A and B are shown apart, each in its own frame.
Chain A
């Protein structure tokens, strides 16, 4: 089989260089920098720092928000994906669901500043039905809401794909065997879509841990996620060592979540 090989090395060079320089090296430099303090001394202080109360609390709250965001995104997306598979022209409807995710993230976030603002339509509506003007912007609620909004299409897509693959005869069989709708869902539909749900959770949870522009624009710095902390350390405080340490933990969490959510087929590719 040598005859297919000779070109391979020429082909592979730029790609291999990319792997080395932009996949392996970045992880290496992050780990390397996490051992340095502000004045450039080799130290473990950053790690000690990380486990002190502030950062530990930060990590916990970051996880909590990511969990909430993932949970609500799933809660909304699953029925949506399910109903979508039942529509005529389902591919077209799916495309319509996906289109908003192609609009620049910043613009959508910016729109919510207006929508949720003191004189925005949501408050006007609340006023009209007698609840009265509320502070919506710069709260936990607005942060979770906007994040869920951003992630819904990414959650719907994998779930839709796995629902779409279910052979309808299985549902008929389940019905014939006397199962009601709930049992059919629990024993047939849900188990067959867990892979889709897992990859949905994966594409939502990890980015949700690291959101930072939404926290800045919508949550008014009240919510701090790991992403906000990293951005703060790198670009504001200029403490690259501490930023790298937090990044190292984020990378570890990322791998853990990937291991937890990888299906039999290895998730991502399919």
Chain B
């Protein structure tokens, strides 16, 4: 293959610079002892200290993490069940219908999901707050898990199940000792994706959260609306590190998911 010319290299470099500039800009100013994001006075860690001393903020971070973990676990469980149900569906058109329904929440704009869930929760009397946010996050993560798990199921040879049946495995055995181990990489990928969707979500949470409950995104939004505080910068530095850890984890799992099958593109 031809080597990249000088212009394409410059172009790619420019794209990378632009993509990363805002992130590093935020982190850079998180060490600024001055009050704003325009002139750097001197190095300080006071904003990081402020993050760790702000109990309210820490509770919000904790809420965000709890919501992400719980919704990740529950949506993965339901999503795997859903993928299995779709996999075992005999009727082609029914399967297609369920798949399209599954995809609706993926393509729906967040605003629509948020608004419709808000009406729904009000109608059935779910109090806005922790419960409504958790349920919404589970709801919008399920289709993602299904999308991640289903290809793994479809890739699995059906002879594996037949062989297990021939060898006298019970249905429970087939599930726990044949199917689940096989689709495990898909399950983990789905879980990680659900986790990041939940951590990242703003619009849906913004609609279904009540007055007393807040997640990080919603909190950053209201902080940003009132003006610049470097506490957000320090927080973003911390989030960046957490994100990198998650991405790395996801990447390693993704690679593991590919390698055992030896499928090369």
**Interface set of A (CB-CB < 8 Å, partner B):** 1, 3-8, 11-12, 14-16, 18-19, 21-27, 29-30, 33, 76, 79-80, 83-84, 86-87, 93, 95-100, 102-115, 117, 119-121, 149, 152-153, 164-165, 168, 202-203, 206-207, 209-210, 212-213, 216-217, 226-227, 230-231, 234-235, 240, 243-244, 247, 250-251, 254, 258, 268-269
Contact = CB atoms under 8 A, between A and B. Distances in A.
B73 interface: no
A203 B217 CA distance: 21
Contacts of A243: 115
Interface stretch (B9-17, B47-55, B180-188): B9-17
B43 interface: no
For chain B, which range describes its interface: under 10, 10 to 19, 20 to 34, or 35 or more residues? 35 or more
Contacts of B247: 95, 98-99, 102
Contacts of A95: 247, 251
Contacts of B109: 206-207, 209-210, 227, 250, 254
B98 A19 contact: yes
Question: Sorted from nearest, which 4 A-B pairs have the closest CB atoms?
Answer: A26-B116, A114-B37, A15-B82, A210-B109
Contacts of A216: 225
Contact of B22 (A26, A84, A112, A254): A112
Given A22-B139, A107-B26, A254 B232 contact: no
B19 A100 contact: yes
B85 A109 contact: no
A19 B199 CA distance: 23
- With most chain B CB atoms within 10 A of its CB, the pick from A104, A152, A165 is A104
A242 to B, nearest CB: 11
Nearest to B99: A269
Contacts of A120: 37-38
